[in-house]
Structure 1
Amino acid sequence: MSAISFQNALSIHPQALLVRAGRSEVLANNLANADTPGFKARDFDFQAVLNGEVEKQRSLEMNTTNNRHIGGRVQEDYDLQYRWPTQPSIDGNTVDDNVENAEFTKNAMAFNASFEFLNRKFNGLTNAIRGE
């Protein structure tokens, strides 16, 4: 009997969740600063970061103090870029509420899809271990 390969079973979804969570923070920061004079909206290319995460493992392993701890990862900063404004305001703020809300919603839906996929995978693996 061979061991279960979680990397094969879970595919890219654990990394996608980490990257989506990071993008949510960036987009929420944009929305929180929608009325801040001179604030520049930022974002990053999800696919490029995810490809870098998978290919280069650009995150750092966390130390564990007990052999029963589950290893974790700390994300490096993403390559944030300024969003090209469709209609910059007079005060220099480049946050467009409609764009940011749409991007935040799309990101949240994709996060939920990956989370649901992982949840179903873990339920299936649990049932397989139990012999159900």
Structure 2
Amino acid sequence: MLSKLDRALFFQEQALTLRAARQQVLAGNIANADTPHYKARDFVFATALQRALSNRGSEAVRLATTSPRHLAGSGDVAPTAMLYRQPGQASADGNTVEMDVERSQLAENSIFYEAGLTFLSGQLRTLSSALQGQ
């Protein structure tokens, strides 16, 4: 039963996780708008979602150990390949953050995140009413 619920909600879970990760990347770009030589970064959401859905994004990174007393652990991997954003106009200090672009991407991502939450809430309400037999 739980595996069926997990499968039903897997897409939205992955989409919301990637939207949250992208929000952090965009916020990092905005936070570094005045940092000399900072290169704005982003990732292609559709590619990252496709990778996550095909389970290729869940590969764990094995940490190298040089002593038997080291913990094996696993490292966190980025949701997808991070890309550098190409600026429309070069900055004198080498910074590639364009605030208008970052703000619009942040707003767009926020709207899609809220839409995903709304859709997920609807799915959960539907599943809940189906389980209750109403």
Partners of 2:31 and 2:133 lie apart in 1 by 49
1:79 has 2:75 as partner: no
Q: Could you tell me which amino acid in structure 2 is paired with residue 118 of structure 1?
A: L
TM-score, normalisation: structure 1: 0.81
Partners of 2:111 and 2:20 lie apart in 1 by 12
Q: Which residue number corresponds to residue 30 of structure 2?
A: 31
Tell me: CA distance 1:59–1:8, structure 2 relative to 1, closer, same or farther (3 Å): closer
> Unaligned stretches of 5+ in structure 2?
61-74
Q: Could you tell me which amino acid in structure 2 is paired with residue 91 of structure 1?
A: D
Q: Percentage identity across aligned positions?
A: 38
1:127 has 2:126 as partner: no
Residue 131 of structure 1, CA deviation: 1.7
SS state of the match for residue 12, structure 1? Answer: helix
TM-score, normalisation: structure 2: 0.79
Q: Could you tell me which amino acid in structure 2 is paired with residue 30 of structure 1?
A: N
Partners of 2:59 and 2:115 lie apart in 1 by 25
Matches within 5 A, 1:42-81: 42-59=41-58, 76-77=77-78, 78-81=80-83
> Unaligned stretches of 5+ in structure 1?
62-73
Matches within 5 A, 1:110-125: 110-125=112-127
Partners of 1:25 and 1:88 lie apart in 2 by 24
1:40 has 2:39 as partner: yes
Partners of 1:124 and 1:90 lie apart in 2 by 54
Q: Spell out structure 1 runs of 4+ moving beyond 6 A.
A: none
Residue 30 of structure 1, CA deviation: 0.2
Residue 127 of structure 1, CA deviation: 1.4
Aligned Cα RMSD in Å?
2.0
Tell me: CA distance 1:30–1:101, structure 2 relative to 1, closer, same or farther (3 Å): same
Q: Which residue number corresponds to residue 21 of structure 2?
A: 22
Count of residue pairs the alignment pairs up:
118
Q: Could you tell me which amino acid in structure 1 is paired with residue 92 of structure 2?
A: I
